[in-house]
Amino acid sequence: MASERDRAKNAIKRTDSTDPELNAALAEGTELQHLLMIEVNRHKETMRSVELGWIGRVLGGEANAPIAVATIVVVAGIVGASLSVWMASQSLRPESSEYWSKMVERFLALTISGLSFIFGRSGRR
């Protein structure tokens, strides 16, 4: 024998109703919650896009940007070292060749610095 209070609780918890108006209202409420969540997520995405800017979209957020910049430095160092080796091989004067050899050393140092940053940083994550 259920009391009036227990019947009221069961009526609240019960989701299957024979009332079509209630079912329509519940369906409409669920749809509105869904649309609201879509709008909230769209707003968050727009705000994140504005915060990053076009450079941030290319390099990534604040967590990935240092690694991306270090990768660009490594690539630039490799390209610079390769170009310096080619220039040293094409030079006719010994002092010019010595200059380009020093440039190769500097570019390789830059490349190794970038690589050490990348691998040192990935160990801390």
Cβ neighbour number for residue 98 with a 10 Å cutoff: 12
Residues ≥6 apart with Cβ < 8 Å to 2: 10
Contact, 32 vs 25, CB < 8 A?
no
Alpha carbons 88 and 66: distance in angstroms, whole number: 32
Contact, 94 vs 64, CB < 8 A?
no
Residues ≥6 apart with Cβ < 8 Å to 58: 68
Contact, 60 vs 68, CB < 8 A?
yes
Q: Residue type at 20?
A: P
Each residue's pLDDT, cut to its tens digit, for the chain (125 residues) gives 568 888 777 767 665 667 778 778 878 888 999 999 999 999 998 888 888 788 777 777 777 888 888 999 999 999 999 999 998 888 888 888 889 889 999 999 999 999 999 888 665 65
Q: Residue type at 102?
A: K
